Amino acid sequence: MGYMKTFVLMAAMTALFIGIGAMIGGTSGMMIAFAIAVATNVFSWWNSDKLVLRYYGAKEVDPTNAPDLYNMVAQMVENANMPMPKVYIIENDQPNAFATGRNPENAAVAATTGLLRRLDMGEVAGVMAHELAHIKNRDTLVMTITATLAGAISMIANFMMFFGGGQNNRMGILGSLAVMILAPLAASIVQMAISRSREYEADRIGAEICGKPEWLASALEKIAMKAEVIDNPAAERNPSTAHMFIINPLHMHAVDGLFSTHPKTEERVRRLRAMDV
């Protein structure tokens, strides 16, 4: 199922690339955009996880320099009967976390220093279990490719600002402006469609992995409260990665309702506290 979601995602993003290319430069623009899309898809498949970790300045840790976190993840991995991912810490005061990687054998979990400082050990275990659930469900490939391609679509749409008035552009200036607005929006809609449903499922499986739904419920409440007032500057600069985090890291640009990449925290907490593990 994870691979089918990935295929659908790549097809949708590739269609956006081709459409924008056609609007910019007709048939030749379409072919150039198609080539870029293929190259981006292939590159994203193999490297998007490394790019995201590097973008956030994540540092890999092991039992010698972060024994509490590493051993906790190892215990959750044993509970989940899955391969051990690499473990990273991000220097950021906002409590948050994400998982990445193209499959369970090549995966990583990353926690911010704010998460480790502001949550108790049970709550951190709940968060790590949630991220491991994403890995086990093979959500992480979809998440990281979405972030990479959505950012690329926004970039190519911005080219319309510079080339929108060219003689090869079939849409003219007004059409160019429309594409600049609608292409990134379309990419965001793909992100949202994938993100919301997978969060509920990762919450459920994460609660089963750690054995204590209350740990994760309490963690979600604390993270959501702090994320509203503590900046995550890297996420604010690159909103296309926001859907990867356990709680939306954006508070300056966050939008509720239809255009949110995450379900409402209150509903996630309610479902967790209704579980009987």
Question: Which residues belong to the active site?
Answer: 131
For 140, half-sphere exposure in the C-beta direction (CA atoms, 13 angstrom radius) is 29
How far apart CA 264 and CA 258 sit, in angstroms, is 11
Contacts of 95 (CB under 8 A, 6+ apart): 112, 114, 115, 117, 118, 119, 222, 223, 226, 227, 230
Of the candidates 130, 80, 149, 124, the residue with the CA atom closest to the CA atom of residue 245: 130
How far apart CA 205 and CA 129 sit, in angstroms, is 8
Residue 142 one-letter amino acid: V
User: Residue 225 pairs with which residues in a beta bridge?
Assistant: none
How far apart CA 185 and CA 179 sit, in angstroms, is 9
Q: Which residue has the tokens 């269609």?
A: 15
